[in-house]
Amino acid sequence: MPSDIAPPQALSRRFSVAPMMDWTDRHCRYFLRLLSRHTLLYTEMITTGALLHGDRQRFLGYDETEHPIALQLGGSTPGDLAACAKLAEQAGYDEVNLNVGCPSDRVQNNMIGACLMGHPGLVADCVKAMVDAVAIPITVKHRIGINGRDSYEQLCDFVGQVRDAGCRSFTVHARIAILEGLSPKENRDVPPLRYDVVARLKDDFPDLEIVLNGGIKTLEDCKTHLQTFDGVMLGREAYHNPYLLAQVDPLLFGSTEPVPSRQGVLLQMRPYIAAHIASGGNMHHVTRHMLGLGLGFPGARKFRQLLSVDIHKAADPLALLDQAGAFLQGH
């Protein structure tokens, strides 16, 4: 779709929004890009099987305005990951990231995600296959350990082997993953955050790019962490309170461009939503990602109600969008 948003010229991992299943789809990413030009955006995790044998256009499709954008892959077969990395490069993605952090039972059963931390040699083989296949960066997102393999020495062994395979950038969720007995949601909260472990990793691997993930909630926190780490990645906070991205470019990238207003962002989304509806889509598929615009001001609750409850009985969805937008006036 046409847009007047020009993509940044260089990929930076100084600030990124995490890959989140069911959340960071193409509609979400289009919306977040209106708030920040420089934030690196990640897709939801896509398994190699889905990409190789499913609807590639659906899995790989994105709007050009989403750059810089990275594709996150889930898999553990080097040849399949290399083939998928090639597809990502051909589709124009700026980076391919390997998921070594997801703790769900479903992905464990397919040797995907955090369980791979117990197999550093296999992860290294996967990374080498992808690095040899494409020219775009191959990165890894992982935990600081898993139950039964959670010592600092084992973390260094993992990072060292994957580094030697050609990976130069590691995004580290500063918690271990408990692979039995905790749900994926509990794994995002129950294991304690250990920023000190990630800081030690940066000290011991100074030549690697180390991006911190886990529990970061404010841009002030980001500025503090950026004194130690090469980048920060926000997940749930960026999704539930997306308007904080409006300050990312001036505070973290030194941009002098005007900061978009909440209402201005909604108005920019309107043509995108109208086109989605015209193509047979449901407005809720897009606006569900925008509910976080309605936080912290009078009328915010009504804004969220219109786009989360009333939307399902609206005869004229765009009129409802305009009605909701009126509550953002001046914000």
> Given 205, 232, 253, which residue is the final one in a domain?
253
What CATH number corresponds to the domain at position 48? 3.20.20.70
In this structure, the answer to whether residues 127 and 244 fall within a common structural domain is: yes
pLDDT score at 183? 82
In this predicted structure, what is the pLDDT of residue 133? 98
Residue 56 sits in the same domain as residue 143: yes
314 and 183 in a common domain: no
How far is residue 277 from each of residues 30, 109, 244, 263, measured CA to CA in Å? 16, 38, 28, 20
Return the residue matching tokens 């990124």. 16
Cα three-residue angle 137-140-142, rounded to 5 degrees = 165
Strands, E assignment, the chain: 15-17, 40-42, 46-47, 69-74, 95-100, 138-146, 169-177, 209-213, 231-234
Instruction: Report pLDDT for 106.
Output: 63
Residue 3 in any domain: the answer is no
Low-confidence ranges of the chain (pLDDT < 70): 1-10, 105-109
Alpha carbon distance 130, 83 (integer Å): 8
Cα-Cα-Cα-Cα dihedral sign, residues 87, 26, 39, 195:
negative
Residues 207 and 282 in one domain: no
Of 253, 282, 310, which one is at a domain's C-terminal end? 253
Residue 331: inside a domain: no
Give me 110's structure tokens. 């397919």
Q: Is residue 214 part of a domain?
A: yes
Whether residues 143 and 87 share a domain: the answer is yes
Of residues 33, 27, 29, 8, the one with CA closest to residue 19: 29
Inside any domain, residue 8: no
In whole angstroms, what is the distance from residue 226 CA to residue 42 CA?
20
From CA 135, how far away is CA 17, in angstroms rounded?
Answer: 23
Strand, coil or helix: what is 293?
helix
The C-alpha angle with vertex 235 and arms to 230 and 239, in degrees rounded to 5, equals 130
Residues 200, 293 within the same domain: no
Q: Are 125 and 37 in the same domain?
A: yes
* CATH, residue 322: 1.20.120
Tell me the backbone φ, ψ of residue 129, rounded to 5 degrees.
-60, -40
Known catalytic residue at 102: yes
Handedness of CA 73, 75, 79, 83 (dihedral sign): negative
State how far the Cα of 122 lies from the Cα of 77, in Å rounded to an integer.
Answer: 8
Dist CA 12 CA 2 (whole Å) = 24
Active-site entry in 28, 102, 115, 222 = 102
Determine the structural domain holding residue 297 and report its residue range.
262-326
Q: Write the single-letter amino acid at 223.
A: K
User: 142 and 267 share a domain?
Assistant: no
For 241, the 3-state DSSP assignment is: coil
53-104 pLDDT, tens digit per residue, is 999 999 999 999 999 999 999 999 999 999 999 999 999 999 999 999 998 7
Between CA 35 and CA 18 the distance in angstroms is 16
Q: Clarify whether residues 292 and 233 are in a common domain.
A: no
126 & 206 share domain: yes
* Residues forming a β-bridge with 40: 16
Boundary residue ending a domain (195, 225, 253):
253
The answer to the question of residue 177 being in a domain is yes
- Rounded CA-CA distance 289/238 in Å is 11
Query: Given this model, what pLDDT does residue 111 score?
Result: 85
Conformational region of residue 184, where left means phi above 0, alpha means psi within -120 to 50, and beta covers everything else: alpha
Same domain, 112 and 181: yes
Residue 200: predicted pLDDT: 98
**Percentages helix, strand, coil for the chain, rounded to the nearest 5?**
50, 15, 35
Q: Is residue 2 assigned to a domain?
A: no
> Into how many domains does the chain fold?
2
Co-location of 94 and 204 in the same domain: yes
Q: What is the dihedral of CA 251, 35, 43, 15, to 10 degrees?
A: 0
Instruction: State residue 8's pLDDT score.
Output: 43
3-state secondary structure of 7: coil
Q: Is residue 10 part of a domain?
A: no
* Element spanning 162, H or E: helix 152-164
SS (H, E, C) 178-231: CCCCCCHHHHCCCCCCCHHHHHHHHHHCCCCEEEEECCCCCHHHHHHHCCCCCE
Any domain includes 4: no
